[in-house]
Structure 1
């Protein structure tokens, strides 16, 4: 009986002693918005996504836009095109060249659109990822 009590006490202590790391997960600069973007790979506009190593950028979805990247025809990434280390402003919209998304706020922040990680500049946040699902010739990006 004592061992059972001791186990419950230790389990309760372990569950309540951890500090939440919401500050790390919740970016104060980027809000969570709901959207869905369907890309039909049969259409010429999205043709580049039929080939690994290519991306598609739209500034009509997400907060400041979305980039979708084809890793190997079965795996795709999608990220928000707002610099996650700045308040939203005109310069915080990222532009994509190759696999690098760059901020124009003057601090040199750039991000890898394959991983979302900061590749140069300063900041504690990575790019905001979006969910991606491929079904046939349709790529669905959503949050």
Structure 2
């Protein structure tokens, strides 16, 4: 199993209370909320993939690392215990498991062998393709959550108003 790096956006305890009340009012509500979370998160995941692909590369020889990192980005919306969205990135090759984190390590960077050659090590600086991209898009998630709660409130009000 590949190691993962991740960022979670977890709503506060008030959201857990709301989720419990929504489940009572309509069992389909948590599914609707999860769908809305995914709809809000998918463009953010795509932004992180684009940011990974846009990381600068030096030299003429490339291994496709940026493409493999971008391909590993996943979204996991949750309405079970803690309402939130988990963004993860993983690599298929366990030996590359730390590379997404290193690439997101900014100026501090990380040390690694050149193309797997353990006799030739370099210090490489990364960028901020993962955490900063997700943080920049945080308002989108907040808007989506607010929209879903507004829809849920309207549905509950309509259900309470019907005879």
Normalising to structure 1: TM-score of the pair? Answer: 0.29
Higher relative contact order (CA 8 A, sep 6+): 2
The structure where strand makes up a greater share of residues is: 1
Normalising to structure 2: TM-score of the pair? Answer: 0.26
The structure where helix makes up a greater share of residues is: 2
